[in-house]
Structure 1
Amino acid sequence: MNRKNKKNWTILIYADGNNELEPEIWKSKIDAEKVGSSDNINVVMQIARESRELAKIIRPNEIIPENDEEWVGVRRYYIMNTKSKLIKDLGKLNMADPHNLYDFIKWGMENYEAKHYMVVLASHGASFIAALSDLSMDAPYMMGVPQMCKALNMILEDVGHNIDILVMDMCYMNSIEIMYELGKKTKNTVKNVLTYISEGPISGLPYERLIDSIEEYSTTDDSLAIIRKIIDSIEMDLVAIEINHGKLKKIKNKVNSLAYCYLSNQGYKKKNPYELINSLDSSDPWYQYVIDVKESFEKIIINYKRISNNANNILNITTHEMFFSNKNIAYIVLIYYSLSFGKNNYWLNVITSKSLKLNQNIERVNTQVRLKPFVLHPTGLLSEIHAINIDLTKDELEKILNKLFVFKGWNYNEIEMKSKNQVKNLSKLNSYS
């Protein structure tokens, strides 16, 4: 790239519409074009689109708009006001593959070099487990959070640029486990994260306001001012979080100390993980540890806005109880243990209802994170369908799932087997003693 054309900001949007969110993802491109690139900023989008018929199958009770520009696959655009420039048609591409996320960001930074970078990830989110679902391939896929974070963390190492603002336009990503994974190294790619407080609307963020906020402050180096402007201008429950290695390390240590204190005093009072992390009884032996954890959380929160009446925590920690026996380690536990926050942390004992002596099998897990998408088990896909059809009965949801399998030509047993094989490959625990 000619450095004379180097702009102050480049916005790279990874818009995953290879699922039932395709109508909303396509609209996000139209919204981005209301502002587009300028003399100070580049706006580049890799957008994926699956057949709109798929959206109609998964969302049967909604009126899905007609497709105003009929094509499927993945394309890269240089976003401009009203008329964007098609850079490349990539054909069919798995947006759940972390290699493809990495390639897009690397390509974008190398071809649209700037002083500062914003990366936007738009799709489904499932807390520390996964994000970015893809239903366009031979099976339903998602990108594991460990894999997503690894792809992002590789950018600084390989390209030499930071991501000043990572926008996660996905639900349930305000998790301390995810923040820690992004900031586990002394030098990390991502500096700040902007995301929802728990869940966001199906329509996603208004991209014209994101771009407008960058444009307004594009001649300064103040990323925090941009973040505050974005939060102020959007009427949604949003939080901005600093990715600071030192602060995140202290948070993990304080959570570990809280968990150890609780496990050492289990005969005193039984609490589930949610009750423990929200303890307000000053007579509890672990009360001060709870205060320390909450104060450490506050130190990485840059700004937030809550317009709804929900009581969701601004920054979450996993409190969902996960159970496993001596002969069966659940896949969700394996994923949690693959995250750096879960290692050498007694919080894992708390959420798996284990004593101070954790089942030794978990320590034999292969935690090497490989840049591969994972096949979504049919029950996981059913959960995704339920999330977008919360009023439907179990029978109605299963009918949608069956219709989807027929439409895609998927074999239930084959996908179930692929999913189970992933567990074996991750754990390397084919049998237990």
Structure 2
Amino acid sequence: MIKIFYIVNGSNDLYYPLSKNFNDLKEIFKKKANIEVYCLYKLVKSDPLNIWRKVDGVKDKDREGAFKYANGIFEDLVNENYYKSEVVKGREVLYLDIKKFLRVYLKEDEYNVVIISGHGGPFQSLLDLNTSPGISINTLELITEINEFNIKLLFLDMCSMNYIEIIYELLSSNKVEKIITYKNFAPFEGIDYKEFIEYIEGKKYIEKFRELKGPLVYIDKSMLKEIDEIKKKMNLIIINGIEKKERRFQEDIEKFRAEKILIGLQTEEGKLTSGNTFNYIKYFLNDELERELYGQYKFSENNLWSIITRKRLEVKNTYRKNIIPIEKDGILNIIDIHSNILNQNKLEEIFLEYIKRKNEEEIYFES
């Protein structure tokens, strides 16, 4: 018996594509007798941010909750509360309690697959644009919660999860055996979940799965040692640069960072492929909060490169909030990416419509 834990947050501009995936998976599950499913979901439209992202066949129907599927029967888990509460900008917000959900249902002696689907990023993930204010989960806190469980296969169905710092954080826990995610940004329509289910049932080889939309990368615990070697190389570049009293060592690090890191992959057929491609979290971080968060990744420990990355500023590593509010620039960025609208006035117009519908001008225009 395979147990699948499907956690999806489409309470944002991804409402339509994630709703389609949700519907497709429910139809697939109906045909499977060897799969047990536990799903935690929030699928709520974020007008007017969804107007460019409609998907054929998906009707407007906000849904949130949890269900179990086993032996051909769907059972709503209505008696459980899988939400956490936190005060953000003086207001209480509720967000999905993934750790509680997994703790109740995931049995570590069983073959389990965990799928997490939604927005992803190196610092902020699973954006919820229907809370007041809009919020995201601290990516490092999300990883910390995942790392509490022995997971056979983790599919991060999100953008920007292939950063070497994130992979290192997951592998160093020695809890997650295999990880699948995208090389860069997730495709808008997601992957073919029928193919994915066939893969985890053992009917498809990993090479076939890597051909699905994405493209995808496959990671396992054997790669941790190779990432440690990357850290050593980064440190040597910095040390050599300092010893030579050259300022060019920053350029050397940037060049090394820009090169795609290929790590070998042993397939189920025993063949070695060309490897996986990883990125690094950007070289110079935008603000003090990002530098603070970056300093908490294990990859930055005993790593001189992190000093350069954080602009030699003292980082106290005290920011351990689960929730990070989404500011105005973050919402404008989402509108810009998904609409291909370049006119700043039009972006502002759509943004004002968004906060008007939520009646929260004071949240985004505080004095």
TM-score by length of 1: 0.70
Kindly indicate whether the alpha-carbon contact (under 8 Å) linking 2:17 and 2:55 is maintained by their aligned counterparts in 1: no
Measured in 2, the distance between the counterparts of 1:48 and 1:386 equals 24
2:61 counterpart of 1:70 = yes
- Tell me the secondary structure at the aligned position of residue 186 of structure 2: coil
Task: State how far apart, in whole Å, the 1-side matches of 2:70 and 2:18 are.
Answer: 14
1:146 to 2:140 alignment: yes
Offset at residue 314 of structure 1 (A) = 1.5
> Alpha-carbon deviation of 1:150?
0.5
Q: Which residue of 2 aligns with 1:401?
A: 351
Does the C-alpha gap of structure 1 residues 241 and 191 become closer, same or farther in structure 2, counting only changes over 3 Å?
same
**1:200 equivalenced with 2:175 (yes/no):** no
**CA, structure 1 residues 267+392, in 2 after alignment: closer, same or farther (shift >3 Å)?**
closer
Structure 2 unmatched ranges of 5 or more: 86-92, 268-275
In structure 2, do the counterparts of structure 1 residues 342 and 91 end up closer, same or farther at CA, with 3 Å as the change threshold? Answer: same
> What is aligned with 1:250?
229
Q: Which residue of structure 2 aligns with residue 134 of structure 1?
A: 128
Give the Cα separation in 2 of the matches to 1:69 and 1:381.
Answer: 22
Kindly report the root-mean-square deviation, in angstroms, between the aligned alpha carbons of the 2 structures.
3.3
Distance in 2 (alpha carbons) for counterparts of 1:75 and 1:403:
31
Map 1:160-171 onto structure 2 (within 5 A): 162-171=150-159
Name the stretch that deviates more: 208-217 or 83-92.
83-92
Deviation at 1:338, TM superposition (A): 1.7
Shift, 1:57, TM fit? 0.7
Where do 5+ consecutive residues of structure 1 fail to align? 1-6, 156-161, 218-224, 280-292, 304-312, 324-328, 418-433
Classify the secondary structure of the residue corresponding to 2:201.
helix
Match of 1:107 among 79, 104, 119: 104
Q: Matched residues in 2 for 1:64 and 1:48: separation?
A: 18
TM superposition score normalised by structure 2: 0.82
Q: Please, which of 287, 300, 322 is the counterpart of residue 342 of structure 1?
A: 300
Amino acid in the other structure paired with 2:166: I
Q: Find 1:32's aligned residue among 6, 25, 33.
A: 25
**Amino acid paired to 2:182:** Y
How far residue 165 of structure 1 moved from its aligned partner, in angstroms, is 1.2
CA distance in structure 1 between the aligned counterparts of 2:302 and 2:251, rounded to whole angstroms: 22
- The letter of the residue matching 2:324 is F
Structure 2: distance between partners of 1:340 and 1:74? 34
Match of 2:165 among 159, 166, 177: 177
- Structure number with higher strand proportion: 2
Q: Identical aligned pairs, as a percentage?
A: 20
Select between 66-75 and 198-207 the one with higher mean Cα deviation: 66-75
Query: 8 Å contact 2:4–2:114 — kept in the other structure?
Result: yes
- Structure 2 match to 1:388: 338
Q: 1:166 to 1:92 in 2, by over 3 A?
A: closer
For the pair 1:365 / 2:317, whether they are aligned, the reply is: yes
More helix per residue:
1
Output the amino acid matched with 2:119: H
Q: Distance in 1 between the 2:124 and 2:263 partners? A: 25
- Answer whether contact 2:163 2:278 (CA < 8 A) is retained: yes
